[in-house]
Homo-oligomer: A and B are copies of this chain.
Amino acid sequence: MAVNQMTGRQSIEFHEAPHIISSASVVGPKEGDGPLGEWFDLISPEAEFGEDTWEEAESTMQKEALQTAIGKAKLSEWQIRYLFGGDLLAQLTATFFGNEESNVPLIGLYGACSTCGESLMLASMTVAAGYADYAAALTSSHFASAEKEFRFPLGYGSQRPLSATWTVTGSGAFVLAAKGGHVKITGVTPGKIVDMGIRDNMNMGACMAPAACDTIYQNLMDFNRQPEDYDQIITGDLGYVGQTILIDLLKEKGFDITQQHMDCGIEIYDRDTQDTHAGGSGCGCSAVVLAAMILPKLRKGIWKRVLFVPTGALLSKVSFNEGQAIPGIAHGVVLEHC
């Protein structure tokens, strides 16, 4: 049996690559109205999801996403050995209350908007090592709970410059197993914190682009690949501003990803009609775009190999108000058709 192995400086290559055997996406009405609307599994007609608070609404999204993914895999909940989950809220409120009835051992994660990558990375490492027959990865974000958490409650009506992104109301869930799907995770590149000293919490793309650059560069070096070895290099939520910076930064390091680059935050909304400025963001953004758009294309073989790089901006209200900069982090996941 070929064993999994460390590759290069910070990557892992799976020789027994785990499969993503099912996925699910649950979104709010604004996301349902966007260009990817027809591909989501469940679109709520209202952002409250039938709940009394924004936090409970987000928990409900998580619950529905996980149940849908488990159902699509024709499994029962007790067969999921470990759940790797997270969200943007302090103390992972959405994740813990969303999964408290699930009876599945839960590994709580926080990597800001990179958490979708972090959860897939750990779930794939767990399955590839034989620690679980089935593991799940689950993340979410909600526009209203995130505005309250990071800026102001919606009722305060804060203004948004054009560099600001719009937090996606959505949750994506993924079930992984040793075999059984048409998409496998062949490697991962856990990311480092990169702090370029940027202090603008209305320009997350600029905060995260250097971290995306670092992880993509390291992935290319570790696996000895060129950008064209990937059909797509897909970041989480850099938006239009961050995309430009990322492409420039990688050019300085000798790689031109203009042809391969796609960003989930750019794909999810229609810039001209939805008033979302620089694009979408949040750990729900990359998760629902992965479930609704990226995985289907990989399943069909339209894309053979994709580098998926959710990006996170590491700020809290406290650190921001205390004058700290906003560092970024990005985790890379290599997805291949099989």
Contact = CB atoms under 8 A, between A and B. Distances in A.
Given A86-B110, A97-B324, A192-B106, A129 B128 contact: yes
A316 interface: yes
Interface string A92-112: 110011011011111111111
Interface string A115-128: 00010011001101
A130 B6 contact: yes
Number of copies of this protein chain within its complex: 2
B112 A110 contact: no
Given A106-B193, A190-B107, A318 B90 contact: yes
Contacts of A53: 322
A55 interface: yes
26 contacts: A4-B131, A6-B131, A12-B131, A55-B322, A86-B110, A89-B318, A90-B91, A90-B149, A90-B316, A90-B318, A91-B314, A91-B319, A92-B314, A97-B314, A100-B193, A100-B195, A100-B327, A102-B193, A104-B192, A106-B192, A107-B118, A109-B109, A110-B110, A122-B122, A129-B131, A148-B318
Contact of A190 (B90, B105, B319, B324): B105
A55 B129 contact: no
